[in-house]
Structure 1
């Protein structure tokens, strides 16, 4: 799981978009390896949305569930 700045708010200018692309590529690789979707997630939030970070983490944890034989 990764969380970055919203578009246009990144200190590293395009770092958030690069991270998003990296997570997309990692998800494709996991799929090729036979690992079902939902095990990797990238989201973007503003620094003035700290409560949303907790929501994103909770949703991700509930979504991944138990790991059964790498699936």
Structure 2
């Protein structure tokens, strides 16, 4: 699901089902908060929390406020 808000709702629904139907006790979970400028491009984020900067770059036109 590309929509972050809907994806979070789906995650909460899945957690509710898990807590009702299975004897599990989550011990911890990761929370990543990422802030980046809109002109930073090519950063790849994976659902498991990994952030990859291998292809990251600065879009100089966007940084300067130029529109395409």
TM-score when scaled to structure 1? 0.35
Of structures 1 and 2, the larger Rg is shown by 2
Higher relative contact order (CA 8 A, sep 6+): 1
TM-score normalised per structure 2: 0.36
